[in-house]
Amino acid sequence: MTPRIQEIPYFEDSAALFLPWSDRGWSVFLDSGYPHSRQGRYDIIAADPVKTLITRGLVTEVREGEWIQRSPEDPFKLIQEALGATRGGVSELPFCGGAIGYFGYDLARRLETLPDLAADAEGIPDMVVGIYDWAVIVDHLERRTYLVGREASPILDKRWPHLVKSFSQIQTLGWRLGDFQIVDEVRANLDQPAYGKAFRKIQHYIEEGDCYQVNLAMRFSAHSTGNPWVAYQYLRTYNPAPFSAYLNYPEVQVLSSSPERFLKVSEGEVETKPIKGTRPRVQDVVGDARQVLELQDSLKDRAENLMIVDLLRNDIGKNCVPGSVNVPKLFEIESYATVHHMVSTVRGKLLPEHSALDLMRGCFPGGSITGAPKIRAMEIIEELEPNRRGLYCGSIGYIGYDGNMDSNIAIRTLMHSDNTVRFWAGGGIVADSDVALEYQECHHKAAALLHLIEEFRQRDANVSALGR
C-alpha cells in the first residue's frame, strides 16, 4: 500500500517547524544543517510514536499505549518486529514513517563479549527508538515540504487533519537567549598527563602486535540549567553539519552536529563514509588552504583512513552481495566550521534476504571510532578510558517501513540529562602518532562544543553582571 502524503508550506529553516514540538517528549529532529550549511538536503521531524523501545543492559522495554513488554531478545530483532513486513514508500522521499532513535556505543555489549572496567557515569539507556506513523519531510533542494503517514492507521486518520493544519500555520518565532545556561567550568576526564599515559599504553599494544589503531577519547562535562533546545539552535548555526539531530526523550536530550555518515541503505544500495584525518580551520585564507593541502598529502592520515576503509569493507561485506563492495571515493577533503576532515566512501549492494538492521548489527559500532582490529581495539578502549561512552560513537538515525535507512556516527554530540551536559572527542592512535598532536586534535574536534559551553557560560556571566 502507498503511504499517505500531503504537501504543506516550505520553510527554509526547519527549526521553525520543530519549535512547537520541541518540548514534547519523544519529539525528534533529524537536521541537515540547512540553511546554515548547504551540504544536506532533507530534514525529518516526528513526534508521538505509536511504540517505543528502550534498552538497558540485557532488557528492552517495549511500550505501546498501556501495553508493556520487557524482553531479553536482540534489540535489533525487536525493532524489526516492531516495523513489521517491509512495505512501499515514496521513491522521491527518504522516509515515510518507521523507526527513529539512537543506538549507544555500549549496545555493542549485546553483540560482543567486552570487559566491564570503565565507570558508567551516563545513566542513560543503551538504545532509545520510537516507531513513528507520521513525519514531516523537508526537501531543501526542491524547496518543498511534505507530511507523510502510514497508509492504514485509524488513529492517524483522526489526527491527520489536525497535523496538516498545525504544520500549515507555523509562525517563525524567535528563540530567547536566556533559556539555557552553563553554570560552572567544563571538566575533562583525562588531563594531559593521564592522556599521555593511555597513549603510551596503546603504543605498547601496537608494538606487541595486538592492534594497528585505537581510537582514544576524552569526556567533557559541565552543569547546566534551562532548555537544551535553545543550546541546539545555537549549535546548528555555529557548527552546521549534514547529520545533525535533536532528540528530546524523557530521560535525555541529544544535541548532535555530526559530520559523519555511518550507514545508508536506499533501495538496497549501501553506503558508508568513514572520517579519518583532521586539521583545524584557521581564519587566514591562505593558512586555511595550507591546512587542506597538508591533510591531503599526509601519508599518516591516508594510512589511518585506508585502515578503516578496509575494516568497513569487511563489515558491510557480511551483508552485501559478494563482489559488490567498492570504494568510489578515497581521501576526499570535507570542510566544516572548525575542522577539515579526510573522508572516504564505501558502497555495496545489500543481499535481498538481509535487512538494513542486519547491516547495522553486522557493522556496529562503526569502525572509524573504534580502531583495528575492532574487537581488540574496543577492549583497549574499555581499559584506558575512565568512563563508558554512552551514546558517543554510537549512531543516530532512521529505519523506514520501506526498508531504507540513514544513520550517523554520533560524534560532535552532546548529551543533556540531570542538569549536566557531556560530550566527547577523540582520535585514532597509530604507531607513528605524536602524543602532543593527538591530545591537541581532541581539543580541535571538541572546539564547536567547547565554544557552545563558553558561549552560554559567558552569556550567564553577562546577565549576572547586568544584574549587579
Side-chain half-sphere exposure of 37, counting CA atoms within 13 A: 25
Alpha helices in 177-277 (DSSP H): 192-207, 228-238
Cβ(130)–Cβ(100) below 8 Å: yes
Cβ(121)–Cβ(169) below 8 Å: no
SS3 66: coil
DSSP letters for 391-451: TTTSEEEEEETTS-EEEE---SEEEEETTEEEEEEEEEE-TT--HHHHHHHHHHHTHHHHH
DSSP label of 10 = -
* Consecutive H or E run containing 266: strand 261-266
Q: Of these residues, 122, 260, 379, 385, which one is catalytic?
A: 260
Cβ(402)–Cβ(88) below 8 Å: yes
Q: Give how far Cα 151 sits from Cα of 53, 126, 157, Å.
A: 22, 31, 9
For this structure, is 260 an active site residue? yes
Rounded to whole angstroms, how far apart are CA atoms 418 and 460?
19
Side-chain half-sphere exposure of 18, counting CA atoms within 13 A: 30
Q: Of these residues, 273, 276, 374, 445, which one is catalytic?
A: 276
Comparing C-alpha atoms, which of 151, 129, 135 is closest to residue 14? Answer: 135
Cβ atoms within 10 Å, residue 297: 10
Number of H helices, E strands in the chain: 11, 25
For this structure, is 445 an active site residue? no
Cβ(257)–Cβ(244) below 8 Å: yes
SS3 199: helix
- Phi, psi (5° rounding) for residue 165? -65, -45
- Phi, psi (5° rounding) for residue 445? -70, -30
Cβ(422)–Cβ(390) below 8 Å: yes
Cβ(256)–Cβ(239) below 8 Å: no
Comparing C-alpha atoms, which of 375, 374, 370 is closest to residue 115? Answer: 375
Handedness of CA 17, 19, 21, 26 (dihedral sign): positive
Cβ(438)–Cβ(429) below 8 Å: yes
Cβ(202)–Cβ(431) below 8 Å: no
Rounded to whole angstroms, how far apart are CA atoms 22 and 228?
10
Residues marked as catalytic: 260, 276
